[in-house]
Structure 1
Amino acid sequence: MNKKWIINANIVMENKIITNGFLEMSEGKITVIDQMANCPSFALRENVIDCQQKGYIIPGMIDIHIHGAVGHDFMDANHICYSKIAKYLASEGVTAFLATTMTGPMSEIESAVEALAYYYKNQPTAVPEMLGIHLEGPFISQAKKGAQSEAFILKPNVQQFNDLYDKSHHSIRLVTFAPEEDTDFELLHELTNKGVIASIGHSDADYDTAQHAIKAGITHVTHLFNGMSGLHHRDPGVVGAVLLAEDVYVEIIPDNVHFHKDLLPMVYKMTGLNRLLIITDGIRAKGMPDGLYQLGGNEVEVMNNQCIQRKTGSLAGSVLNMNTARKNIGEWLTLSLVEQIRIVSLNQAEHLGMDNRKGSIALGKDADIVWLNEEGEVEKTFCLGNFAFEKD
């Protein structure tokens, strides 16, 4: 049996931290969690990782909004590119993700979802796991398109979505769209009937329309504040509607670029801990030097952690590292490590209906494990018990 042990570790559980503990990983699962006093002795130590009580063992993080990294994009429709993106994500402490598409020619979106469907069913186990597809566009508002390509924006269409859904082999898990463009909420109803998460994003809906959409089945908002009608004292807009709702999960990009960090306490007070989702919205420039990159057929200039579409001046995704995002929100909201893990991992797993095997360290769950060193940096990452990343 392919067993590995992590010993002399501070293990971050869902509601507590076990100090000086150990865990066993076998056949891709967590099979033992206990105190070091009960740890077996090892004749061979080749599969033993000794943390020496330095740093913390946390569950792998889950990025549900990621377009690409290290020069590659999920719209490239190339399995080798997908493997390279996944391998890189392990260096950030990410062990699972939703591959995110964007607005473009329908033929390109079809090619991407077909290639992603193949990768989804044949993906390697020693890299972060693709949990499905996040379809961002093309059913969005032209007024709030952001870096999405205006020429290929479409009105929400049930038949076109179903064609993509079938081509994805039903692996589309989340759809970002503009419900105000959706006649009689036809697409929204189709998404909820299929069990696909319906997200309001790139939307110019007014407050009342957003409220009606939430009542009809919206349970998610894509990158809060960005690509949506803002909070105004005479029209609270999409921002007001989702913050006041009780059951909408809220994506945030904590890079202090997409919104001012001092807004976070307001968001936190309104959503609480259990509805916050940290994302990166990373593009192919993530993990690369500053310079010019392509996103959705447009040129993006990356400089000083900002990604700007040269044609429009719009923000165009990010190069945010997921572990940096965790540290940022921990500092800005004074969150404990247990609280940080909820919003980078457990909330995502619960929202996707996968918390039976992802999102926290517990017996029987997937051995998606990250060792953070004393500086809070990723020292090692395991995906399904396999070495996926080691610092230096």
Structure 2
Amino acid sequence: MSTWGGPVDVTLTGGRVVTPDGVLDQGWVAVRDGLIAAVGEGAHPDGPTTDLGGGWVVPGFVDIHCHGGGGEAFTSADPDRVSKAANAHRKHGTTTLLASLVSRPIPELAGQVSALSELVRDGVLAGIHLEGPFLSAARCGAHDPAILCPPDRRSIDRLLDAGGGTVKMITVAPELDHGVDAVRHLVDNDVLAAIGHTDATEAQIRPAVEAGASVATHLFNGMRPLHHREPGPIGALLDDERVTVELICDLVHLHPTAVRLAARHAGPNRTVLVTDAIAAAGVGDGVYDVGGLEVRVVDGVPTLAGGASLAGSTLTMDAAFRNAVTSCGLTVVEAVHATATRPARLLGLEHRTGRLEAGLSADVVVLDADLRPREVMSRGAWVKD
């Protein structure tokens, strides 16, 4: 389990620093009082230094879709177990994290939201994402179809009230009864309305986007496939400039060509890499519980027991970053946008994190030449085992 040391005052030197303006080949990042004090190239400020020996220096990753890790799921009411899950991802560079919850009956889900809300207020989590239960049974994936229900306003309000402002995103299948009204209600309450686990046609997607839906939950997965005569949700969401698309870049959920096509079309301002990780992330193969369903992880791939349906991933964001660059053809700068800058802006956290820029939190990942994490800094403190 990761532990936090105290914030350090240090200047990181000798790295390839990725800034909003480009790459500084001999750059430095000055960290003071938990914040980035300055970023530059050449002569650096006086004081303690750490020579990075040419590694890449990128902003801490921001994961907006993650169910757990380190052997623990965010469904736990035990704050230590939830913290363990968050820390498992922090070691891999994710310094900002939404806790995603799978479909459960509304009263049970409200209890889970209430428990997690305290950890949001404590700063362990950046918020809560509800991936269900307002999903299509035809595209339910690893969600129990018996639990799924239409998104009526009373149910939504119960979940929002339980979170007290900590629920940041809810995934909805807009073709369900009240689906478009639910999108509008979420937006009116400053909650991101995401479209996912949907069997909708393109014609059913368009009104939801007009109502304010702005995120595609793990594009391609859990939705009606793209067809040249019926583009469905994939075509509608990918082609709409108002929608940010999530991509699970584990090379299992998506072929590298699919990642490349989507990222190229959506561009850096609409592309977000996510893990969709379950408790198995950072642990390994075995049998796990995901929303009351048995999931078997074999060779790092989770599937529902007795079936072939994928049930989340064992991905960490450093691997998603690395896969995007080495297998999918994204540049390092584009990968930084997709793993940090864009998701931070989507969550309204661009004033705090997502870029290496003076005045923001010192959330920093140092990657070696193979894009594997050497060091992680969160709020100015080194993350250690």
Q: Compute the TM-score of the two structures, normalised by the length of structure 1.
A: 0.93
Equivalent residue, structure 2, for 1:362: 357
Change in Cα spacing, 1:187 to 1:34, as seen in structure 2 (3 Å) is same
Give the Cα–Cα distance (whole angstroms) in 2 for the partners of residues 272 and 2 of structure 1: 36
Equivalent residue, structure 1, for 2:3: none
Equivalent residue, structure 2, for 1:51: 52
Aligned residue type for 1:324: A
Give the Cα–Cα distance (whole angstroms) in 2 for the partners of residues 372 and 56 of structure 1: 5
Q: Structure 1 residue 311: deviation in Å?
A: 4.1
Give the Cα–Cα distance (whole angstroms) in 1 for the partners of residues 99 and 162 of structure 2: 15
Equivalent residue, structure 2, for 1:336: 331
Give the Cα–Cα distance (whole angstroms) in 2 for the partners of residues 385 and 201 of structure 1: 36
Q: List aligned pairs for 1:30-41, cutoff 5 A.
A: 30-40=36-46
Could you tell which deviates more after superposition, 180-189 or 357-366? 180-189
Q: Structure 1 residue 91: deviation in Å?
A: 1.8
Q: Say whether residues 1:314 and 2:300 are aligned partners.
A: no
Q: Percent identity?
A: 33
Equivalent residue, structure 1, for 2:375: 380
Query: Could you list the per-position Cα deviations for residues 147-188 of structure 1 after superposition, in whole angstroms to 9, with x for gaps in the alignment?
Result: 001121111111111111111111111110111114272211
Change in Cα spacing, 1:139 to 1:235, as seen in structure 2 (3 Å) is same
Could you tell which deviates more after superposition, 315-324 or 302-311? 302-311
Equivalent residue, structure 2, for 1:188: 183
Give the Cα–Cα distance (whole angstroms) in 1 for the partners of residues 270 and 78 of structure 2: 34
Note if contact 1:8-1:36 (Cα within 8 Å) is conserved in structure 2: no
Aligned residue type for 2:13: I
Structure 1: give runs of 5+ residues left out of the alignment.
124-128
Equivalent residue, structure 2, for 1:211: 206
Give the Cα–Cα distance (whole angstroms) in 1 for the partners of residues 154 and 233 of structure 2: 26
Give the Cα–Cα distance (whole angstroms) in 2 for the partners of residues 103 and 297 of structure 1: 9
1:75 alignment partner, SS class: coil
Q: Structure 1 residue 134: deviation in Å?
A: 0.6
Give the Cα–Cα distance (whole angstroms) in 1 for the partners of residues 264 and 375 of structure 2: 34
Equivalent residue, structure 1, for 2:10: 4
Query: Could you list the per-position Cα deviations for residues 16-69 of structure 1 after superposition, in whole angstroms to 9, with x for gaps in the alignment?
Result: 1123232221222111223342431x4xx5xx42213x2111100111100000
Q: List aligned pairs for 1:100-139, cutoff 5 A.
A: 100-123=100-123, 129-139=124-134
Q: Structure 1 residue 266: deviation in Å?
A: 2.4
Q: Compute the TM-score of the two structures, normalised by the length of structure 2.
A: 0.94
Give the Cα–Cα distance (whole angstroms) in 2 for the partners of residues 2 and 326 of structure 1: 26
Give the Cα–Cα distance (whole angstroms) in 2 for the partners of residues 287 and 2 of structure 1: 27
Q: Say whether residues 1:224 and 2:225 are aligned partners.
A: no
Q: List aligned pairs for 1:1-392, cutoff 5 A.
A: 3-40=9-46, 42=47, 45=48, 48-52=49-53, 54-123=54-123, 129-183=124-178, 185-389=180-384
2:320 alignment partner, SS class: helix
Equivalent residue, structure 2, for 1:126: none
Change in Cα spacing, 1:18 to 1:75, as seen in structure 2 (3 Å) is same
2:135 alignment partner, SS class: coil
Query: Could you list the per-position Cα deviations for residues 101-150 of structure 1 after superposition, in whole angstroms to 9, with x for gaps in the alignment?
Result: 11013232112111111111124xxxxx5211111101111111100011
Give the Cα–Cα distance (whole angstroms) in 2 for the partners of residues 366 and 13 of structure 1: 14
Change in Cα spacing, 1:234 to 1:334, as seen in structure 2 (3 Å) is closer
Q: Structure 1 residue 329: deviation in Å?
A: 1.1
Number of positions where the alignment pairs a residue of Structure 1 with one of Structure 2 = 379
Q: Structure 1 residue 285: deviation in Å?
A: 0.8
Change in Cα spacing, 1:285 to 1:207, as seen in structure 2 (3 Å) is same
Give the Cα–Cα distance (whole angstroms) in 1 for the partners of residues 26 and 228 of structure 2: 52
Could you tell which deviates more after superposition, 245-254 or 8-17? 8-17
2:91 alignment partner, SS class: helix
Equivalent residue, structure 1, for 2:4: none
Note if contact 1:382-1:389 (Cα within 8 Å) is conserved in structure 2: no
Give the Cα–Cα distance (whole angstroms) in 1 for the partners of residues 98 and 155 of structure 2: 21
2:175 alignment partner, SS class: helix
Could you tell which deviates more after superposition, 195-204 or 350-359? 350-359
Give the Cα–Cα distance (whole angstroms) in 2 for the partners of residues 240 and 278 of structure 1: 18
CA RMSD for the aligned pairs? 1.6
Note if contact 2:15-2:28 (Cα within 8 Å) is conserved in structure 1: yes
Aligned residue type for 2:91: S
Query: Could you list the per-position Cα deviations for residues 179-237 of structure 1 after superposition, in whole angstroms to 9, with x for gaps in the alignment?
Result: 11142722111111111111000111111001121112111100111111111233211
Give the Cα–Cα distance (whole angstroms) in 1 for the partners of residues 107 and 384 of structure 2: 35
Could you tell which deviates more after superposition, 178-187 or 233-242? 178-187
Could you tell which deviates more after superposition, 245-254 or 104-113? 104-113
1:130 alignment partner, SS class: coil
Aligned residue type for 1:302: V
2:75 alignment partner, SS class: helix
Q: Structure 1 residue 286: deviation in Å?
A: 0.7
Change in Cα spacing, 1:387 to 1:193, as seen in structure 2 (3 Å) is same
Q: Structure 1 residue 2: deviation in Å?
A: 5.1
Give the Cα–Cα distance (whole angstroms) in 2 for the partners of residues 38 and 254 of structure 1: 36
Change in Cα spacing, 1:8 to 1:229, as seen in structure 2 (3 Å) is same
Note if contact 2:247-2:259 (Cα within 8 Å) is conserved in structure 1: no
Note if contact 1:371-1:381 (Cα within 8 Å) is conserved in structure 2: yes
Query: Could you list the per-position Cα deviations for residues 240-295 of structure 1 after superposition, in whole angstroms to 9, with x for gaps in the alignment?
Result: 11112111000011122112222233223321222111001000111112111111
Structure 2: give runs of 5+ residues left out of the alignment.
1-6
Aligned residue type for 1:16: G
Give the Cα–Cα distance (whole angstroms) in 2 for the partners of residues 64 and 114 of structure 1: 19
Give the Cα–Cα distance (whole angstroms) in 2 for the partners of residues 285 and 33 of structure 1: 37
